[in-house]
Amino acid sequence: MTDPTVPILVYHVILPDDTPVDSWPPGHRPYLSRRSEFNAHVGWIAGNGFLTQTVAGIRGLSAADAAKSVALTFDDGQASDYETAFPMLSGRGMKATFYIATDFVGQAGYVDWRQLRDMQAYGMEIGSHSCSHCCFPDLAPAEMLKELIDSRRILEDRLGSAVKSFSVPYGFACPSLIRAATEAGYETICTSDVSLARVDASVPAVYGRVGIRRGNGIEFLEGIMRRKAGVLGRMIVEDRLKTLVKRSMGRTIWHKFRHLVLSSRGEG
């Protein structure tokens, strides 16, 4: 029998519906979700009887619970985590995992420590997203370990509880990063590979996620939650192609190429 799976969705910024996106860097724009879209997502999840899990809470779920579960995650520690997502989630009794790049905490546009403590006190999971939002494949092993260990210690010191979960900035999870994150004591590692998270007992558990883009409405969400092959399958094909192109171009040229493509699609 195959392991049960749970969709882990990843959001970045939740913007008011009437806020223009052109002041954001081109690469970020596709991932700026609208408040009304996010509200529709959480409404659909609650209305259809799904349970929200933290990422740390996925391990050990029964097959029956996994089938009716979803994990909502937020990368980067944007101000909208607290100002928009937190009240919408807590108002419905929902949980989520917020991944924080510790160097950004308290800066303009990002959450601060008091807000993180509020969210944690409610029951939200706070995980690490490195200190500096670095690109791990560019780092030597000792630098990787430092980003992983320092961000975990800072979060644990400031928030007073154990940090078990890590999400990889830019989503690239090379084998040396997985080894370093394991050494740094993380129990779960979220990447940006498109897949459902398999519920098993491995430590660390390495989970793919489903990245939410602006315009992903209820039909998309329902396709993911109900495991409709076409919806996830299309994303996986697109993701594999992207990885192939990225590998053959090298990352620097890839970022330039992506900028051009997004601009030409009006997302840039």
Instruction: Name which of 50 and 172 has its Cβ closer to Zn ion.
Output: 172
Whole-number Å distance between alpha carbons of 43 and 122: 20
> For 16-103, where are the E strands, in sequence order?
32-34, 51-53, 69-75, 97-100
Instruction: Name which of 75 and 103 has its Cβ closer to Zn ion.
Output: 75
- Cis preceding linkage at 204, omega within 30: yes
Instruction: Name which of 76 and 187 has its Cβ closer to Zn ion.
Output: 76
Min CB(75)–Zn ion separation in Å: 4
* Closest to 7 in 3D by CA, of 52, 64, 74, 63: 52
Instruction: Name which of 168 and 231 has its Cβ closer to Zn ion.
Output: 168
Instruction: Name which of 199 and 212 has its Cβ closer to Zn ion.
Output: 212
* Closest to 235 in 3D by CA, of 254, 256, 208, 262: 208
Min CB(101)–Zn ion separation in Å: 7
Residue nearest to Zn ion (CB): 75
Min CB(173)–Zn ion separation in Å: 13
* Residues that bind Zn ion in the complex, under the rule CB under 5 A: 75-76, 169
Min CB(99)–Zn ion separation in Å: 7
How far are the Cα atoms of 30, 118, 241, 244, 245 from residue 11, in angstroms, in the given order? 11, 20, 22, 24, 24
Amino acid at 51: L
Min CB(95)–Zn ion separation in Å: 21
Min CB(129)–Zn ion separation in Å: 6
Min CB(190)–Zn ion separation in Å: 11
Residue 226: which residues within 8 A CB-CB, separation 6 or more? none
Whole-number Å distance between alpha carbons of 15 and 17: 6
Whole-number Å distance between alpha carbons of 35 and 61: 30
Instruction: Name which of 166 and 231 has its Cβ closer to Zn ion.
Output: 166
Instruction: Name which of 38 and 98 has its Cβ closer to Zn ion.
Output: 98
Whole-number Å distance between alpha carbons of 122 and 109: 22
Nearest 10 degrees: CA dihedral of 96, 137, 102, 200?
30
